[in-house]
């Protein structure tokens, strides 16, 4: 697997003409990508047993070894690879199998610029990750655990012959795990054409309830959190995310955002802490060390995470959302909401709104014994044309009463 800025990509398809067309159209990418093209699932597995790739892109319908089977084996051989499907029409059973192992699904015929864009976005956050075991754990992840009350309510609707769509819509804008999953499925072509959607409710409608039901029953669409409260208080964390979303609504009354930008910000607000959920669920023993460093050595959350994992929860969450194909604005806001200065900007945007809302929610929240107060990045705010301090923002948003 590549450790340099050049990414390694393996294309697997039994259509020789398609492979030849991909080779020709992707030739200009040779300085960025180390690409290999193989004409069968069997040959693809032989190549994977010789080396791992940053990205594996496979057709679904192939003789001997189909795409879902290949990607399942690829997951075991090269667990940290990004796995994508590029395929024509497939039976629902095959799509459901692919949903268990593929991070994204692209439909043929494929727009070459769209393909390049998906690969670039999926790889963009990859270099920010720290230890290899973190990358491996994330690439193996197919869902973000939901807090029990939302999971139970969701499953109740799944079992209902006549589900209440209003209840499902409320659930997907309340629970980070549910929101992320419906956005992943809708932003890929698992069920019909991919659409770039930022609104989880629109994503739910786009995928359709029957497809969601099938995914839930066959492909581990959601999972019920078993994270202990002493390790990570999931209910309080989710309430924090919902609080950030409420403050974003205040910001929208004083800053001009399009409807699409508003939903990008809302979804980023709901999802900005998923990295903490992932670390606590995937690597609980290591995450307990984070808690120890915070309580005994008074390290901040992010400094303790970096000490243990070599990376922090914003990058962790953003990486999974990136390889799941969520819109770039959401991914960047999640990745840099603590460090917005790492992104160049000259206007108040989605990232800036999330940064402000997160700081304001933290300012209003009762402090725990070891909670360090978040600070507004004044240099970045000046860069985007906003010189107000926290108290100014509290007043503007009518939150200081």
* DSSP codes, 19-73: HHHHHHHTGGGTTTEEEEEESSHHHHHHHHHH---SEEEE-S--SSS-HHHHHHH
From CA 31, how far away is CA 25, in angstroms rounded? Answer: 14
- Write down which residue in 218, 246, 276 finishes a domain: 218
Do residue 208 and residue 278 come from a single domain?
no
SS3 12: strand
The length of the chain in residues reads 401
Q: Which two tokens stand for residue 180?
A: 């992320």
From CA 187, how far away is CA 196, in angstroms rounded? Answer: 5
- Write down which residue in 124, 158, 191 finishes a domain: 124
Residue 134 inside a domain? The answer is no
From CA 368, how far away is CA 227, in angstroms rounded? Answer: 20
From CA 192, how far away is CA 38, in angstroms rounded? Answer: 27
Do residue 120 and residue 155 come from a single domain?
no
- How many secondary structure helices (H) and strands (E) does the chain include? 21, 5
CATH number at residue 93: 3.40.50.2300
CA-wise closest residue to 169 among 157, 161, 159, 160: 157
Full pLDDT tens readout for the chain, 401 residues: 554 589 999 999 999 999 999 999 999 999 999 999 999 999 999 999 999 999 999 999 898 898 989 999 999 999 999 999 998 866 778 788 888 899 999 988 888 999 999 999 988 877 777 677 888 888 888 899 999 999 999 999 999 989 999 999 999 999 999 999 999 999 987 877 778 999 999 999 999 999 999 999 887 789 999 999 999 999 999 999 999 999 999 999 999 999 999 999 999 999 999 999 999 999 999 999 999 999 899 899 999 999 999 999 999 999 999 999 999 999 999 999 999 999 988 899 999 999 999 999 999 987 664 466 889 999 999 999 999 999 999 999 999 76
Do residue 239 and residue 369 come from a single domain?
yes
From CA 323, how far away is CA 280, in angstroms rounded? Answer: 20
Cis peptide before 400 (omega within 30 of 0): no
Q: What letter would DSSP give residue 149?
A: H
From CA 117, how far away is CA 115, in angstroms rounded? Answer: 5
Phi–psi pair at 55, nearest 5 degrees: -135, 135
From CA 88, how far away is CA 110, in angstroms rounded? Answer: 9
Contact predicate 309/295, CB 8 Å: no
Do residue 167 and residue 241 come from a single domain?
no
Residue 129 inside a domain? The answer is no
Do residue 240 and residue 187 come from a single domain?
no
Instruction: Mark residue 398 as left, alpha or beta (left: phi above 0; alpha: psi -120 to 50; beta: remaining).
Output: left
Residue 135 inside a domain? The answer is no
Dihedral sign, Cα of residue 361, residue 365, residue 368, residue 370? positive
Task: Summarize pLDDT for 239-266 with one digit per residue, the tens.
Answer: 999 999 999 999 999 999 999 999 999 9
- List helix spans (H) across 127-273: 132-139, 148-159, 165-172, 176-186, 200-207, 209-218, 234-252, 259-271
Residue 23 inside a domain? The answer is yes
Q: Give the DSSP per-residue string, 310-349.
A: SS-HHHHHHHHHHHTT--HHHHHHHHHSS-GGGS--SS--
Residue 131 inside a domain? The answer is no
Q: Which residue has the tokens 């193989």?
A: 38
From CA 294, how far away is CA 61, in angstroms rounded? Answer: 50
CATH number at residue 331: 1.10.3210.10
In terms of residue numbers, what domain contains 350? 234-396
- Write down which residue in 188, 218, 248 finishes a domain: 218
Do residue 278 and residue 385 come from a single domain?
yes
Contact predicate 75/94, CB 8 Å: no
Residue 401 inside a domain? The answer is no
Do residue 185 and residue 247 come from a single domain?
no
Please give the tally of structural domains in the chain: 3
Do residue 253 and residue 210 come from a single domain?
no
Do residue 258 and residue 333 come from a single domain?
yes
Do residue 18 and residue 92 come from a single domain?
yes
* Entry pTM: 0.93
Residue 139 inside a domain? The answer is no
Do residue 291 and residue 338 come from a single domain?
yes
Do residue 249 and residue 390 come from a single domain?
yes
């Amino acid at each position: 697997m590549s450790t340099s800025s050049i990414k390694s990509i393996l294309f697997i398809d039994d259509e020789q003409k398609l492979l030849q067309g991909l080779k020709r159209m992707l030739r200009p990418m040779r300085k960025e990508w180390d690409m290999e093209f193989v004409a069968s699932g069997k040959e693809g597995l032989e190549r994977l047993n010789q080396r791992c790739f940053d990205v594996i892109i496979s057709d679904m319908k192939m003789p001997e070894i189909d795409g879902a089977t290949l990607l399942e084996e690829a997951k075991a051989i090269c667990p940290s690879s990004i796995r994508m499907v590029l395929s024509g029409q497939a039976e629902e059973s095959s799509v459901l199998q692919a949903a268990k192992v593929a991070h994204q699904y692209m439909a043929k015929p494929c727009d070459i610029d769209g393909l390049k864009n998906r690969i670039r976005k999926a790889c963009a956050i990859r270099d920010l990750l720290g230890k290899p075991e973190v990358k491996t754990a994330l690439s193996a992840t197919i869902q973000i655990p939901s807090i029990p009350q939302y999971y139970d309510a969701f499953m109740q609707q799944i079992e209902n012959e006549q589900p209440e769509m209003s209840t499902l819509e409320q659930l997907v804008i309340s629970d980070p795990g549910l929101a992320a999953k419906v956005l992943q499925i809708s932003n890929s072509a698992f069920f019909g054409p991919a659409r770039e959607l930022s609104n989880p409710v629109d994503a739910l409608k786009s995928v359709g309830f029957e497809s969601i039901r099938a995914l839930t029953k066959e492909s581990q669409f959601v999972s019920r959190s078993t994270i202990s409260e002493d390790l990570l208080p999931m209910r309080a964390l989710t309430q924090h995310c919902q609080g950030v979303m409420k403050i974003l609504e205040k910001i929208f009354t004083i800053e001009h955002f399009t409807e699409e930008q508003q939903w990008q910000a809302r979804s980023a607000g709901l999802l900005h802490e998923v990295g903490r959920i992932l670390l606590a669920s995937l690597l609980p023993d290591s995450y307990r060390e984070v808690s120890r460093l915070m309580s005994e050595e008074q390290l901040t959350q992010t400094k303790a995470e970096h000490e243990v994992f070599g990376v922090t929860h914003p990058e962790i969450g953003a990486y999974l959302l990136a390889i799941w194909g969520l819109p770039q604005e959401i991914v960047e806001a999640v990745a840099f909401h603590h460090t917005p200065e790492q992104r160049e900007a000259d206007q108040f945007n989605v990232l800036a709104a999330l940064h402000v809302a997160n700081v304001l929610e933290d300012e209003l929240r009762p402090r725990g014994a070891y909670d360090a107060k978040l600070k507004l990045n004044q240099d970045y705010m000046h860069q985007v044309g906003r010189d107000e301090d926290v108290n100014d923002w509290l007043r503007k948003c009518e939150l200081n009463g």
